[in-house]
């Protein structure tokens, strides 16, 4: 197992020996983090079991052509590191998780700056840490922490970090230079039991958030109130965009495609294993 510092030293050595071919990026399609490991589905439905990160409580993210995954055998176990894989399925490096991330969290996100954002339920915070596991910033989900879980799903766009949190059922954002927080959308009066994953439509710029009950997806238009967009026929609360299409998957047995203009829903892949992590790669 190679720590990031060791990986950096290896890259420096290879650079001194002359140009080296870059590893291929990970394949397009859908990635699901299951207790039996990461599973990949192509857009044609072809399945590949990658055999990575087999945990009872797995999570994953995709960024910069790399697959990041982590997990633990139980919620009481520590979460020591993220594992990072390239398109060959080779482990490129690993990233230690800061000790402040001490309880179950539902999402982490590699940022454009190189930092990693972690949503932490125990402390109602989003932690930003560097690739060496050093805490760089602590962001509050609420002004006063409480004992309820604030499951935070994360999204980055245009210099801002967005978080949907289900405790107060709000979508927050922070400026990643000043770290000033603002409330983007408040869904607390809509009779929801919780809100979940975020996705952004690159065409319209609108955000979408999953919600329960009813397997709902809400559209969050810039400058407008949240509006019910569609109710899916099955449970698929993790969202992602690719090729102008909104996809929903995770936890249930079907991956759905949703037209962001018409709200038409179609199953893309059925019979998929239950997954706590879901990512879409164009």
For residue 89, the enclosing domain spans: 23-281
Residue-wise pLDDT tens digits, 63-79: 989 999 987 766 667 66
176 is a domain residue: yes
| Number of domains the chain contains | 1
In this prediction, residue 180 carries a pLDDT of 96
List Cβ<8 Å contacts ≥24 apart for 225-233. Answer: 225/185, 226/185, 226/187, 226/190, 229/258, 229/263, 230/258, 230/263, 230/265, 232/256, 232/258, 232/265, 233/265
132 is a domain residue: yes
14 is a domain residue: no
4 is a domain residue: no
Query: Residue 33: is its pLDDT beyond 60?
Result: yes
Supply the CATH number for residue 182's domain. Answer: 2.120.10.30
216 is a domain residue: yes
Query: Which of 38-42, 118-122, 164-168 has maximum average pLDDT?
Result: 38-42
189 is a domain residue: yes
Q: Which of 2-6, 55-59, 146-150 has the lowest mean pLDDT?
A: 2-6
17 is a domain residue: no
Report the predicted TM-score, pTM, of the whole model to 2 decimal places: 0.89
Residue-wise pLDDT tens digits, 80-93: 789 999 988 888 89
In this prediction, residue 237 carries a pLDDT of 95
15 is a domain residue: no
């Amino acid at each position: 197992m190679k720590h990031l510092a060791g990986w950096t030293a290896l890259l420096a050595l290879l650079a001194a020996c002359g140009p080296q071919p870059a590893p291929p990026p990970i394949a397009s399609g859908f990635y699901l983090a299951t207790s039996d490991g990461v599973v990949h589905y192509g857009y044609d439905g072809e399945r590949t079991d990658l055999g990575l990160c087999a945990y009872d409580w797995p999570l994953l993210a995709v960024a910069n052509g790399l697959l990041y995954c982590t997990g633990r055998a139980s919620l009481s176990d520590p979460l020591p590191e993220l594992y990072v894989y390239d398109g060959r399925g080779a482990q490129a490096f690993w990233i230690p998780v800061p000790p402040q991330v001490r309880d179950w969290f539902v999402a982490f996100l590699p940022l454009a700056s190189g930092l990693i954002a972690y949503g932490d339920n125990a402390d109602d915070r989003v932690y930003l840490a560097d690739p060496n596991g050093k805490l760089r910033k602590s962001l509050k989900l609420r002004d006063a922490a409480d004992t309820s879980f604030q499951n935070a799903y994360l999204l980055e766009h245009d210099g801002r970090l967005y978080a949907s949190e289900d405790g107060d059922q709000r979508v927050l954002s922070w400026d990643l230079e000043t770290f000033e927080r603002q409330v983007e959308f408040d869904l607390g009066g809509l009779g929801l039991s919780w809100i979940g994953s975020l996705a952004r439509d690159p065409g319209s710029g609108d955000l979408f958030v999953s919600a329960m009950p009813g397997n709902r997806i809400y559209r969050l238009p810039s400058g407008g109130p949240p509006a019910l967009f569609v109710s899916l026929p099955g449970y698929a609360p993790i969202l992602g965009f690719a090729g102008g299409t909104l996809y929903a998957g995770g936890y249930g047995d079907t991956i759905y495609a949703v037209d962001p203009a018409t709200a038409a829903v179609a199953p893309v892949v059925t019979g998929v294993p239950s997954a706590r992590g879901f990512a879409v790669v164009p």
